[in-house]
Amino acid sequence: MIAVLLDGLVAAPVVFALLAVLMRRERWAVRAAVLGGLFTFGWSVWLAVAANGTLGQSGSTVDVVWLGALDVHWRLGVDGISAPLILMTTLVFATALFSLVRHAPADAEGGPSRTGSLGVLLLVIEAGVLGSFLALDMVLFFVFFEVALIPMWFVINTWGDAHDAKARRRAATRFLLFTVTGSALMLIGFLIVRAEAGTFDIVEIAASYRPSGTTAFIASALVALGLAVKTPMWPLHIWLPDAHSKAPTVGSVILAAVLLKLGTYGLLRFWMPVTSPDWWLVPLVAALGVVGVVYAALACFVQTDLKRLIAYSSVGHMGFVVLGAATFTVGGVQAAVFASVAHGLITGLLFFLAGAIKDRYGTADLARLKVLYGKVPHLAGLFAFAAMASLGLPGLAGFWGEMLAIRAAVGQAPALPETTYTWLAFIAALGVILTSAYFLALMRGMLQGGPVTPVAPAGGSVELVADTVPAGEPVVADAGGTEWVTWSPLVVLTLVLGVAPGLLLTPVADAATAFLGGLG
Amino acid sequence: MSWVVLLLVVLPFTSAALSLVVGHRGEVAERGIAVGASALGLVLAGVVAFPHLGNAAPLGHVYASTAAAGPPIEFSVYVDQLTAVMLLLAHTVAFLVQVYSLGYMAGDPRYPSYAALISLFTGAMTLVVAADDLWALLIGWELMGACSYFLISHHWEQQEARAGAVKAFLMTRLADLGLLFGIIVLGARFDTYQISTIMGQIADGGFARDELWVPALLVTAAVIGKSSQFPLHTWLPDAMPGPTPISALIHAATMVAAGVFLVARTFPLYLSAPAALTVLALVAALTMFISALYALFTDDLKRVLAWSTVSQLAYMFGALAVGAYAAGVLHLLAHGAFKALLFLAAGSVVHAVGTTSMSAMGGLREKLPDTFITMTIGFGALAGVVPLVGFFTKDAVIGSVWEAARHGNLIWPWVAWVLLVSMVATAVLTVAYSMRAWLRVFFTPTATEAAAEQVAAELAAVEPHDAPPSMKVPLYLLSIPTVLGGLVVAYPQLIFGEGEYDLVHVGVSLVMTLLVVATAVLVAWQWQRSGGRDPWHPYVLPHPPVDRIYAVGVVQPVQWLARGVRLSDRDVIDAYADGAGAAARGLGWLLRRAQTGRIQTYLMVVVVGACAIAVMAGVIA
């Protein structure tokens, strides 16, 4: 039963993508894609319910020889580590696809909008991402990982920021180059692990492989390097701000909410089992994560573009996930999964809102966006909520992951240096304050108003520079019906996970104990 | 009973959500939800609180718990005498503030979100005082910070409101890190996050003196931030641009009061760690005096009250620091009553005059009779005039410090002496600034002609009028505990149960009363000499210098670093990115090709990629 559900979860987006391709009429293609998103979400919920009893065990439910000569198997399985990420992924994809119905991005070159093609590409990405989360074979993971990457290049390049074709192209290409290079390094790492451990089956490796020696170290370092690009970890984050800010709204949402999680999930599933906590590599990774937290927060202070700012904030949030994973404790894995899911919901919401603002005012330039509380109060209020969630306000989802990462760093695995990790926890906590500071500065400037920077009027867009609220009707429409439907699942889940963290923590802890065995 | 507590915790959050969702439908809906829910909350608070006063056994209940790595995180409540009185205080003030806001905020288009935030604030405070889990407490604790941020910046058109809100949130959140790490340390040490269990184990003994100084000091850091004590004392006065009823809520019953509550809740931890008590005592001694000095000279009525809150909170910390639990908690309750009264009265003054500057007031005795009577009672209680509540609780505090200075063994005697001297000096200053504010608001005739014209013009422009009933009734209701609350000092066992309470110190009370009278006479004489205007020359104290230190030592370095980060991301790292880009120009050519054919070419790229993988795998395997 579960085997069918697993295969079906990867197949469902592909089937609907094909269906959408076959549709002659643009509208029907879009509908097929949206239906695919909703169907896949429903399917994943079914899977989660059906597998609920066995989420605490790890192992492949589906195991078919795929490339026999290479010992590559089609190994799929779901446990408490992957299930939350899968549900988050299908939900975010469903909302992103649904938003295409009313708020489709225009073709950047001014051609026909081809929203149907965009839907098809998104479904292909979804299949790749879901496959990555389900794969328990290292090569299979790599293949799905690649499948998810390449369509994104088209999404950024075709539907991205229409103002600057060159920057758009550079962003898309840099995204692809970085991640493809990273995944190639990861693949080499996997192959070395295969030579050491004798199998591509990560569950078996986690159970019996005891990495030691230089070769194993190099393999672990290569895997870490490859995933560090994707996560991204400082200083390999440089592709991210460009890609996230130039992509269309749905692209930014998917990139931030889902694609980054391939990196963090990879760290938990494919890096931790091939790594020994005795190595200096582990504290180094933790330290890079914490550097990312502080660095990204500092970078956010000086951003002038809303989408770029949110993109940088992702780097900081991912730093907490890396720190959690690098503690090699069950608590750390919990923190990493929780922070990944929370970031998916919250940053997805933030990018939706940023996109809505950009659509309305034709710009994401923070020097020109002012007094949104007065102009679009509902949109602005929702943005304030999302910002509060993102800065880790207790009672919302963003809090638990980061707090648990700090707690895990204070109580790190015995093999790791205690003083180093205590300091890292402290610095990461200061990063939380910096994060609060830049979000408050953002809200103060963009939502409330502030010193107005005179700018030359740009062609055709609404004049935004005003220190007071214009009298009478607002200039642009506030959040509308479709938008509320799109965003409310993210809002509700941010609240639910913030109030009831146990929903997620318990299955993750069981699965982490089962999968990684020896963790304390 | 436990389900009533659950209802009490959930109710304010529900009402906040309702206010936001349906509050825009109409005036009846928005006001009905706000006032109705807070009235229901008050009733429920009474139902929960009264059975748990006196000798009653505390109620503990766990609703939900995580089964995860590490000690479980629980949703649990613990209602003892302290929780009971805090629930009563918070819900009484919240209810009165909601009623008062009907008049004060009439016609404000942002009323629904305002009322929702007050509900949320009340819910957060309820969670703080009722929670038995440290994490749940932290949620309420920081949620209050967020609510105060939004409420302070209610009038976000004003630059001061925006700045004050950000300052309040960041300063308290920075301090909250202390609580976060304190929770982590306590959880690792006791293997539970249950407050009652941890405190029970500490109270049972077995811990060496100061063995737990680390978590105690960490909690102290959070308390200093939340209660606006030195060196984080500057955010509270800067929070004054918020609507005045909010100030009443923040100063009397929630936010800053939560700091005192937390020390009282974790009192066994403090008693086991005199190091933290010493820090608390010294911070309190310093804070109460300098904030009273600021209150003495400022021209802004609301800032006088804000600085007086900082000063009075320091009294409570001083009492707790010498181990005088009952005196500290009773002063918290008394202060809650008279400070809510003072702020709401100040609100009706501001409502009438249209400004918070005392230079623009004067002679309001006849124009605002109800405000005059109630605010006189409030100022009297603040100054410690017999027989108002402030007199009894303040003397209980000073008396207990006096005892500690002579016979105490909890903190060093010299610390207690420093505290005592500061308390007496501050009490004198308190009389002086209360008297000055009272005289300037209600009595000062507009003497010189230029000033008279100016004031007359300002008053004429706004037409001073006494407040509507919804604003007057809360004032009179709050006057009742302010006048009669002193009785509690005679019967503390009604609240805390049987025990030894050393709250009445006749000698101290006599000396203090003499000081109050002498100071009042002196101020009145000075006022007469000045021709009935300002008793002393208005002297603008420099802005607290610590703010300069934060600006130079924290804010500027962060800005420099941020600029450095921008440069490094632009130039240094871009260099290798572009280097990699150049090296991969071949791939770029492929991609340019790929871009032309869209889907078909993309499929080809995937196939080629898969072949490459197969080849690579074959070579290595």
The SS3 call for residue B228 is coil
Q: Minimum mean pLDDT among A136-150, A450-464, B358-372: which range?
A: A450-464
| A vs B: CB pairs below 8 A | 173
Look at residue A127 and tell me whether its pLDDT is greater than 80.
Answer: yes
Which one of A298, A315, A390, A412 makes the best mutation probe of the B interface by having the most chain B beta carbons within 10 Å? A298
Place of tokens 């190595």: A279
- Those residues whose C-beta lies under 8 Å from the C-beta of residue A134, and which sit 6 or more positions away, are A6, A9, A10, A76, A77, A78, A82, A86
Give the pLDDT confidence of A187-198 residue by residue, as tens digits: 889 988 888 888
Task: Choose among B562, B573, B605: nearest Cβ to A301.
Answer: B562
Look at residue B449 and tell me whether its pLDDT is greater than 50.
Answer: no
String of b and e for B197-206 (b: at least 16 CB within 10 Å)?
ebbebbeeee
- Those residues whose C-beta lies under 8 Å from the C-beta of residue A190, and which sit 6 or more positions away, are A138, A139, A142, A200, A219, A223, A270
Give the pLDDT confidence of B493-516 residue by residue, as tens digits: 888 877 777 778 888 888 888 888
Give the model's pLDDT for residue B219. Answer: 93
In single-letter form, the type of residue at position B609 comes to G
Say whether B66 and A235 touch across the interface (CB within 8 A).
Answer: no
Say whether A143 and B146 touch across the interface (CB within 8 A).
Answer: no
Q: How far is B335 from chain A (nearest CA, A)?
A: 29
Alpha helical stretches, state H, B131-231: 134-152, 159-190, 195-203, 213-226
DSSP β-bridge partners for residue A73: A65
DSSP A137: B
Could you tell me which chain A residue has the CA closest to the CA of B568?
A299
Give the pLDDT confidence of A150-174 residue by residue, as tens digits: 888 888 888 887 777 888 888 888 8
pLDDT greater at residue A454 or residue B610: B610
Restricting to B residues 571-590, those with a Cβ less than 8 Å away from any Cβ of A are 573-574, 577, 580-581, 584, 587-588
Q: How far is A424 from chain B (nearest CA, A)?
A: 13
B606 CB neighbours in chain A (<8 A) are: 146-147, 150
A191 CB neighbours in chain B (<8 A) are: 616-617, 620-621
Mean pLDDT of A125-130: 92
Q: Does residue B615 belong to the interface with chain A, where contact is any CB pair within 8 Å? A: no
A235 CB neighbours in chain B (<8 A) are: 573
Say whether A506 and B67 touch across the interface (CB within 8 A).
Answer: yes
Neighbours of A96 (CB within 10 A): 28
| B124: confidence class by pLDDT, cuts 50, 70, 90 | very high
Say whether B617 and A139 touch across the interface (CB within 8 A).
Answer: yes
Restricting to A residues 71-100, those with a Cβ less than 8 Å away from any Cβ of B are 71-72
DSSP β-bridge partners for residue B262: none
DSSP string, B507-544: HHHHHHHHHHHHHHHHHHHHHHHTTSS-SS----PPPP
| A474: confidence class by pLDDT, cuts 50, 70, 90 | very low
Give the pLDDT confidence of A37-86 residue by residue, as tens digits: 999 999 999 988 888 877 777 777 788 888 777 788 888 888 888 999 99
| Spatial separation of the C-alpha atoms in residues B37 and B34, rounded to whole Å | 6
| Spatial separation of the C-alpha atoms in residues B293 and B302, rounded to whole Å | 15
| B587: confidence class by pLDDT, cuts 50, 70, 90 | low
Say whether A501 and B141 touch across the interface (CB within 8 A).
Answer: no
% of chain A beyond a pLDDT of 90:
25
| Spatial separation of the C-alpha atoms in residues A247 and A156, rounded to whole Å | 5
Mean pLDDT of B350-370: 77
Look at residue B577 and tell me whether its pLDDT is greater than 60.
Answer: no
| Spatial separation of the C-alpha atoms in residues A314 and A434, rounded to whole Å | 14
Q: Does residue A223 belong to the interface with chain B, where contact is any CB pair within 8 Å? A: no
Q: Does residue B6 belong to the interface with chain A, where contact is any CB pair within 8 Å? A: no
Evaluate the CA torsion angle B219, B221, B225, B229 in order and state its sign: positive
Strands B74-79 and A72-76: unpaired
Give the pLDDT confidence of B167-180 residue by residue, as tens digits: 889 888 889 999 99
Task: Choose among A151, A157, A302: nearest Cβ to B563.
Answer: A302
Q: Would you put residue A517 in left (φ > 0), alpha (ψ -120 to 50) or beta?
A: left
Restricting to B residues 519-538, those with a Cβ less than 8 Å away from any Cβ of A are none
| A238: confidence class by pLDDT, cuts 50, 70, 90 | confident
Say whether A72 and B580 touch across the interface (CB within 8 A).
Answer: no
Look at residue B615 and tell me whether its pLDDT is greater than 70.
Answer: no
Give the pLDDT confidence of B247-270 residue by residue, as tens digits: 888 888 888 899 999 999 999 999
Task: Choose among A241, A411, A450: nearest Cβ to B188.
Answer: A411
Mean pLDDT of B317-343: 90
Give the pLDDT confidence of A239-290 residue by residue, as tens digits: 888 888 888 888 899 999 999 999 999 999 999 989 888 888 888 999 999 9
Q: What is the pLDDT of chain B when averaged over all its residues?
A: 82
A507 CB neighbours in chain B (<8 A) are: none
Distances (CA, A) of B608 to A180, A347, B393, B615: 14, 34, 83, 11
Look at residue B349 and tell me whether its pLDDT is greater than 90.
Answer: no
Mean pLDDT of A324-341: 91
Say whether A502 and B602 touch across the interface (CB within 8 A).
Answer: no
Restricting to A residues 115-134, those with a Cβ less than 8 Å away from any Cβ of B are 117, 120
Say whether B184 and A410 touch across the interface (CB within 8 A).
Answer: yes
- Those residues whose C-beta lies under 8 Å from the C-beta of residue A385, and which sit 6 or more positions away, are A491
Q: Minimum mean pLDDT among A459-463, B55-59, B119-123, B416-420: which range?
A: A459-463
DSSP β-bridge partners for residue A201: A137
| A351: confidence class by pLDDT, cuts 50, 70, 90 | very high
CB B398 within 8 A of CB B424: yes
A299 CB neighbours in chain B (<8 A) are: 562, 565-566, 569
pLDDT greater at residue B305 or residue B536: B305
Say whether B606 and A174 touch across the interface (CB within 8 A).
Answer: no
Give the pLDDT confidence of B274-301 residue by residue, as tens digits: 889 999 999 999 999 999 988 888 888 8
A509 CB neighbours in chain B (<8 A) are: 67-69
Q: How far is A459 from chain B (nearest CA, A)?
A: 28
Look at residue A31 and tell me whether its pLDDT is greater than 80.
Answer: yes
DSSP β-bridge partners for residue A137: A201
Give the pLDDT confidence of B77-116 residue by residue, as tens digits: 999 889 999 999 999 999 999 888 888 887 777 888 888 8
Look at residue A19 and tell me whether its pLDDT is greater than 80.
Answer: yes
Q: Does residue A471 belong to the interface with chain B, where contact is any CB pair within 8 Å? A: no
String of b and e for B179-188 (b: at least 16 CB within 10 Å)?
bbbbbbbbbe
The pTM of this model reads 0.87
Task: Choose among B146, B185, B584: nearest Cβ to A393.
Answer: B146
Q: Does residue B570 belong to the interface with chain A, where contact is any CB pair within 8 Å? A: no
Mean pLDDT of B518-542: 76
Give the model's pLDDT for residue A41. Answer: 93
Mean pLDDT of B227-253: 86
Distances (CA, A) of B531 to A232, A472, B436, B522, B525: 71, 50, 13, 14, 10
Give the model's pLDDT for residue A86. Answer: 93
B562 CB neighbours in chain A (<8 A) are: 298-299, 301-302
B613 CB neighbours in chain A (<8 A) are: 139, 142-143, 187
DSSP β-bridge partners for residue B129: none
Q: Does residue A410 belong to the interface with chain B, where contact is any CB pair within 8 Å? A: yes
Q: Minimum mean pLDDT among A234-238, B245-249, B373-377, B531-535: which range?
A: B531-535
Task: Choose among B69, B156, B613: nearest Cβ to A449.
Answer: B156
Q: How far is A83 from chain B (nearest CA, A)?
A: 17
Restricting to A residues 25-64, those with a Cβ less than 8 Å away from any Cβ of B are none
Restricting to B residues 53-82, those with a Cβ less than 8 Å away from any Cβ of A are 64-70, 73
Could you tell me which chain B residue has the CA closest to the CA of A450?
B159
Q: Does residue B554 belong to the interface with chain A, where contact is any CB pair within 8 Å? A: no
Q: How far is A158 from chain B (nearest CA, A)?
A: 9
Could you tell me which chain B residue has the CA closest to the CA of A442?
B166
| A460: confidence class by pLDDT, cuts 50, 70, 90 | very low
Restricting to B residues 360-419, those with a Cβ less than 8 Å away from any Cβ of A are none
- Those residues whose C-beta lies under 8 Å from the C-beta of residue B355, and which sit 6 or more positions away, are B458
Give the model's pLDDT for residue A473. Answer: 39
Q: What is the pLDDT of chain A when averaged over all its residues?
A: 84
Could you tell me which chain B residue has the CA closest to the CA of A142?
B613
Give the model's pLDDT for residue B544. Answer: 73
Distances (CA, A) of B68 to A510, A517, B534: 8, 15, 64
Give the model's pLDDT for residue B609. Answer: 61
Give the model's pLDDT for residue A336. Answer: 93
The closest of B335, B580, B597 to B482, measured between CA atoms, is B335
Lookup: tokens for A257: 């909410």
Look at residue A470 and tell me whether its pLDDT is greater than 50.
Answer: no
Task: Choose among A173, A331, A500: nearest Cβ to B588.
Answer: A173
Give the pLDDT confidence of A368-410 residue by residue, as tens digits: 787 777 778 888 889 999 999 999 888 899 899 899 999 989 8
Q: Does residue A456 belong to the interface with chain B, where contact is any CB pair within 8 Å? A: no
pLDDT greater at residue A280 or residue B357: A280
Q: Does residue B421 belong to the interface with chain A, where contact is any CB pair within 8 Å? A: no
